[in-house]
Amino acid sequence: MYSVVYNFFLWTGFLSGLPLSLLRPKIRHYFKNRLGATLNKKCPKLERKRPIWIQALSVGEVLSTLPLIRLLKNHNLPIFFTASTITGYTIACQKLKNMVKYISYFPLDLIPVINRYLYCIKPHLVILIETDIWPNFLHCIRKNNIPCLLINARISHKSYQRYQLIRPFFKKVINSFDFIGTQRVEDAERLRLLGADPSKLKVIGNMKFDFHIPQFSKEEKMALRRQLGIPLEKRVWVAGSTHRGEEEAIFGVLKHLLKTYPEICLIIAPRHPERFSEVEKLARRWNFNVKRRSQEEKIGPCEVIVLDTIGELATIYSIADFVFIGGSLAPVGGHNPIEAAAWGRPIAFGPHMFNFSEIKELMLENGAAIPVSDKDDLIEVMEDWIKFPEKAKAIGDKALGLLKAHQGATDRYFDLIKAYL
């Protein structure tokens, strides 16, 4: 019954969205790729040896797979990599082009489309990252007797409550996996309560802690500052992965700080590329001197730089004096603070970090980040860090130390995956 209802709404949504895709080229290109438009060109290259299919939802999940893919390459098995979002696919093309056999979009959860992918790819093993639980996809994988693993799995309290409403359906879907490795004990317990077979569940840890700790020389950092037109006397505040509603608060904080500390320069990175122009216009309405990262010839001394490139935020954190994690003042669930922690930067985030609750709690327990409730809290924290840079440095040092102490999940996942190779 649940399957019938699910597929009815799925097909209804797909068919009703077709007219919009015909009118908007970007959406048309996206749907075309998720229907497998480019598969035929690559099939002959994949037929010689059955690949491992790895699926990651978006940017954070794609980046978390890098250490695992390096380990899998040693087994000389081709890797077919997919991502669901445009930004995830773009980052995969940038970071993985020399590491995997082929990069594509993940198919829509429509059985004919999935079967076409499986016919073309013929995977030896399928690995899904974190929260990618697609009923029709898993049904087709199981029908074709292909081992399928869910690794780095997490399930938020909000998702848990939603899945409880369809527990009989979810139980059938989740048990399609051969193995489920979770980030935390809470994730494993929630999945067990939703019907997952306990023999398939194991707490392994969070691969996102295995983020490569970068080595960036002082000269390279200076070169980046010069490229951005940021003088040495400027202190850089990076607001990463911001969402609508947060930029107003951030610009309000900046306006307040500049009255006393004119040396502050804000680099703001909107989470979604389609909002780059919107955020630039908003900054201009606040009467800031604004530049965009992509317009290098126009980059000069300014108060706000809009980071309108994809995949560069992790590098930009290297020149930050202070960091704010977006998606946390707006009720979005936050974003991964580990990229900033890897540079040893002082981090602040808002009250809505529920998608990264384990990392948030660890950071707060160890004094490796500062929580803020609103704009006024953020002003207070920023002023404290500016006045007492040793405090900011101590928080950044703790963040880096915490990251190093919790690494190793990728190796544990790899040891388990080897049994299926």
- Ranking 11-25, 56-70, 186-200, 342-356 by mean pLDDT, the lowest is 11-25
What share of the chain in percent tops pLDDT 70? 95
Specify the pLDDT at position 297.
60
Topology (CATH) of 2-206+407-420:
Rossmann fold (3.40.50)
Specify the pLDDT at position 40.
64
Tell me: pLDDT of 340 over 70.
yes
Specify the pLDDT at position 4.
86
Tell me: pLDDT of 42 over 70.
no
Kindly state the tokens that stand for 39: 């598969």
pLDDT band at 306 (very low <50, low <70, confident <90, very high): very high
Q: Give tens-digit pLDDT for 242-254.
A: 999 999 999 999 9
Specify the pLDDT at position 24.
75
Mean pLDDT, the chain, rounded, equals 92
Kindly state the tokens that stand for 253: 């904080």
Q: Give tens-digit pLDDT for 342-382.
A: 999 999 999 999 888 889 999 999 999 999 999 999 999 99
Residue 262 Cα distances to 242, 254, 277, 283, 347, angstroms: 23, 10, 25, 16, 21
Tell me: pLDDT of 312 over 70.
yes
Q: Give tens-digit pLDDT for 60-83.
A: 899 899 999 999 988 787 899 999
Tell me: pLDDT of 210 over 60.
yes
Q: State the average pLDDT over residues 83-99.
A: 91
Residue by residue, DSSP assigns 158-225 as: HHHHHHHTTHHHHHHHHTT-SEEEESSHHHHHHHHHTT--GGGEEE---GGGG-------HHHHHHHH
Domain spans in the chain, listed from the N-terminal domain onward:
2-206+407-420, 218-405
Q: State the average pLDDT over residues 48-59.
A: 90
Q: Hey, do 2-206+407-420 and 218-405 end up sharing a CATH topology, with the first three levels equal?
A: yes
Q: Give tens-digit pLDDT for 317-334.
A: 999 999 999 999 999 999
Decide: 283 and 250 in contact? Cβ < 8 Å: no
Q: Which residues are catalytic?
A: 61
Specify the pLDDT at position 127.
98
Decide: 91 and 59 in contact? Cβ < 8 Å: yes
Q: State the average pLDDT over residues 168-195.
A: 96
Topology (CATH) of 218-405:
Rossmann fold (3.40.50)
pTM: 0.81
Distance from chain centroid for Cα 79: 20
Kindly state the tokens that stand for 402: 């915490």
